[in-house]
Structure 1
Amino acid sequence: MKRQTAMALAAVFAMSVAGTALAAPANPFSDVPAKHWSYDSVNKLAQAGVISGYGDGTYKGDKTLTRYEMATIVAKAMANADKADAETKKTIEALKAEYGTELSNLGVRVDNLEKNASKVKFTGEIRERYEYAKDSTDGDKTDMRTRVRISMTAPIADNVTFKGRLHSESEWGNADSGNSVVLDQAYITGKLAGLTYSFGRQPILLGQKLLVNNSQNNDGLVVSGGKDIRVTAGAFKYSNVSGTASVTKTEANYVMGNVAFKLSSNLNISASYLADDNDGKATNGTANLYDSTAFGLKYTGLKNFTLTGEYGQNDSDVAKDKNSGDKSKAWASRIQYLGANPSKVKSYGLYVSYRKAEPGFDQKNWNDFSDMATWNGGFKEMDDIKGLDYGFEYTLFKNGIMRIQYNDMESYKGDTNKRNMFAELVYTF
């Protein structure tokens, strides 16, 4: 079985399953001298637990392996398959098929023999949130909500994957308030002719989030390509889009574009575009809400810090109406120190953001730059607003992050107080 042995050892080495320092115990096997050509390789395999030799402390390198001994090596390679590259995974799959009987007798699960095994992977998120708004248009008020999201991923074919998400949210003590379960994501993503595509109900993200950062109810097609310069274009429809009392739009059609430039390992810049109703033209007598562009950057060259910033403007009919015929302009920036890691207890992050937006810039409230929800007082994150927000996040327990954010905001002209805050606990599973 020398040929199969070579294949198995190649798979193990390619995956670097040892994951340990190169230093190894001296002479783990008495019949492998330190000057032997295979000494380092045998030591690494022994450290990784892939081989254990015989009970008398020998390796017996000249002895032909039995099929069961080979199956043991293959099983240990299978256990580390997630570290392998594509070519090595193919080798492991071939070995799994070859030694399927022996692996089954050893009690090792062989996925390609389990024809009825489910391929759908489920993950989820539970969020408990408390919100407080000071002197909102409805007066001081609080709101407490529970949100549950269940995400699913399933491979369909090579380079084709289905993704979906169920969403439900309700007020504390009032389970009937908006507690319907909706499928807010359901789309197929894949690669074709060097391009990446996603088709169906999907999240939309543009630039540094100034124009759009929305994960729900966007039905359409998005295509992207490129590496250091990545170009994205798409068209989608969003239902129940509302503007002011005088401008209401349902099932609005949108076109979008994004160009992301990777200038270095630490600096990325972006240019984004979003428009509804044929690039600023009125449809059926209803004025458009968006004819927007934005330019932004993200910098990670300072240790433990992330800097983001973006400038945008909206040249739509409604935006001009709200600004005496001029475009509506907006700015946003953030500096973040570290960040809470859900898998690392006691990890934390701090951030400060500045936002300033003229009336009419983002009436739909597409933007989620500061992780803030739509407030009951009618606040929009990037529309007729300016000020600072301060945030702190901390991993209380594994997969459980607490976040507190205070928003010291007022209207663009400073004549309306828009201060508010939220505290939340997000648990992922």
Structure 2
Amino acid sequence: MKKKILASLVATMAVGATCAFAANPFVDVPTDSWAYKSVVELADAGIIQGVDGTYFQGSRNITRYEAAEMTAKAMAHMDKASVEQRAMINKLADEYADELNNLGVRVSNLEQKVGNVKMTGDFRIRYKHQSDGFTRDAARVDPITQKVTPLRTNDQFQYRMRLRANAYINDKTKAVLGISTGNKTFFDGASTAASGESTSSYVDDAYVTSDLTKNFNVKAGRWDFYNLGNGLGLQYGDTFEAMQGQYKLGNFTLTGGFGEFKEGAAYTGVYTDADGNPVSNNKYITQTGGHTLVGVQTGYGEIEGAFNKVGFGVYYNAFNDSTAKTQNLSKIIGGYAKFQLGDKWNLIGDYQKVKKDQTKQYDDDANLWGAKLSYGTAAFNKAGSWDAWLEYINADPNALYGSTNSWRQANLIDNVKSWGVGVDYTIGKNVMFSVMQSFASSLKDSSYGTKDPNEETRAQFVFVF
């Protein structure tokens, strides 16, 4: 097959590449050539490299192996391909199936990706340890007083599985449907039957996103991850239903919408006494009864900027519905900043101001901030890649409201000063192992408890497919 013929064929599926200002990398392709634009687009997308990176040699016959390489590279842009382009890639995958297999690209995987629907998912299994940190489903009943006391356990094993169906409606519109098992606890001695578990599987993704213009995108429905503030996710990082618009202007992105928080257990602020027993009559419990964002509605807006080695964002969440008022919540204002320090070092700082609906003695405005310094990058598609990180959390009492995206238990985020360290390592393609440990944790305000929270240890495996 002539290289110039294949170039024009693959050019129809070179998606995601923009070359308005890309330079011609080949000295033997003049600007007035019929293939000039296609060749530059393909080179800019990384699909072709030419000969020695200097000559295109468009009249030379190429090998089937070279054609298979181009096909495999075109697959890297599948997420932005049109229906017609995916059909073309499917034909090429069939034609060069043997060569693709020799390259380590399974044709069955290609066929899964080139249709209108792409299936993805992940499975996580983790271990957590924190002395007197977890409550079992069962409870202990005093035979005389009939007082019910939740059973406590130091260790907890959990698993979670999620499946995603990504349907490409057209070049600009995509629909996503996903289900999740939620975090399932096992080896805890609970007697609850699987069919009756309260944390049964649920739809955590059901949304449509569409590019109305080159710079304006809309999104509507339910999605599994709303990171309040797009920083460290200390306050909330869970299921959210909303209608949202996003506009990109150069290095800046403006996001706004209206939605409702759908997942996350309430944080009741339970601390332990000097003997390690749960405190049932502390000021937090008697005054507030705990906080949650579930069912709370919010109008939100955010401005973000991304430059060479610096990124930042400022945001505003307003809460005006009756559910928010029962949680004594008015608004959350905050921002984050990210810095790339050299080739492998990264630093992020995150701050939130939680404004209450009413000023109360034991439920006043609260500040929540954290910082994380990391080295390296652990990537699922690169076996042997790794990173290590160090973090610091400083939170006032009553700062935490939701289903945090942090690895920590809630009592290591609310009313606490605490350090943490962790390592992530990709032990094989699509398999990552992580371990985290808190240290030097202490209560910020001792009037909400008499004993510092116990340190937490976590270890987990995550498999993606």
**TM-score, normalisation: structure 2:** 0.67
Greater CA radius of gyration, 1 or 2?
Answer: 1
2:74 is matched with which residue?
A: 81
Q: What displacement does 1:220 show?
A: 1.1
Q: Deviations over 1:170-225 (max 9, x none)?
A: 22257724552211111111111431111000131223134655232x11111111
Instruction: Select 2:381's aligned residue among 332, 340, 343.
Output: 343
2:297 is matched with which residue?
A: 253
Q: What displacement does 1:328 show?
A: 0.7
Q: Deviations over 1:267-301 (max 9, x none)?
A: 011102223225xxx56973533511112100113
CA 1:44–1:344 in structure 2 vs 1: closer, same or farther (change >3 Å)? Answer: farther
1:352 counterpart = 2:390: yes
1:130 is matched with which residue?
A: 127
Cα distance in structure 2, aligned partners of 1:23 and 1:230:
36
Report which stretch shifted further, 119-128 or 232-241: 232-241
> Any idea what SS the aligned residue of 2:384 has?
coil
| Contact residue 211 and residue 294 of structure 1 kept, 8 A | no
Instruction: Select 2:460's aligned residue among 400, 424, 427.
Output: 424
CA 1:231–1:413 in structure 2 vs 1: closer, same or farther (change >3 Å)? Answer: same
Cα distance in structure 2, aligned partners of 1:181 and 1:21:
53
Cα distance in structure 2, aligned partners of 1:82 and 1:143:
41
1:392 is matched with which residue?
A: 423
Instruction: Select 1:277's aligned residue among 292, 298, 320.
Output: 320
1:196 is matched with which residue?
A: 217
- What stretches of structure 1 of length at least 5 have no aligned partner? 25-39, 53-72, 109-113
Q: How many residues align?
A: 368
> Any idea what SS the aligned residue of 2:169 has?
strand
Report which stretch shifted further, 345-354 or 14-23: 14-23
- Identical aligned pairs, as a percentage? 18
Instruction: Select 1:159's aligned residue among 172, 195, 214.
Output: 172
Residues 42-191 of structure 1: pairs in structure 2 closer than 5 A:
42=57, 49=63, 78=71, 80-82=73-75, 118-136=115-133, 141-168=154-181, 169-173=183-187, 176=194, 177-178=197-198, 180-191=200-211
| Contact residue 292 and residue 402 of structure 2 kept, 8 A | no
* Moved beyond 4 Å, runs of 4+: 1-6, 43-46, 75-80, 83-87, 92-97, 102-108, 137-140, 210-213, 246-250, 282-285, 322-325
1:305 is matched with which residue?
A: 345
Report which stretch shifted further, 172-181 or 308-317: 172-181
CA 1:23–1:428 in structure 2 vs 1: closer, same or farther (change >3 Å)? Answer: closer
| Letter aligned with residue 201 of structure 1 | R
Q: What displacement does 1:145 show?
A: 0.9
Instruction: Select 1:229's aligned residue among 240, 252, 258.
Output: 252
> Any idea what SS the aligned residue of 1:81 has?
helix
Q: How much is the aligned-residue C-alpha RMSD, in angstroms?
A: 4.1
**TM-score, normalisation: structure 1:** 0.72
| Letter aligned with residue 125 of structure 1 | D
Instruction: Select 2:442's aligned residue among 410, 417, 426.
Output: 410
> Any idea what SS the aligned residue of 1:42 has?
coil
| Letter aligned with residue 222 of structure 2 | R
> Any idea what SS the aligned residue of 2:326 has?
coil
Q: What displacement does 1:240 show?
A: 6.2
| Letter aligned with residue 297 of structure 2 | N
Instruction: Select 1:333's aligned residue among 332, 353, 371.
Output: 371
Cα distance in structure 2, aligned partners of 1:200 and 1:381:
32
Q: What displacement does 1:303 show?
A: 2.2
Cα distance in structure 1, aligned partners of 2:458 and 2:74:
42
Instruction: Select 1:15's aligned residue among 33, 42, 49.
Output: 42
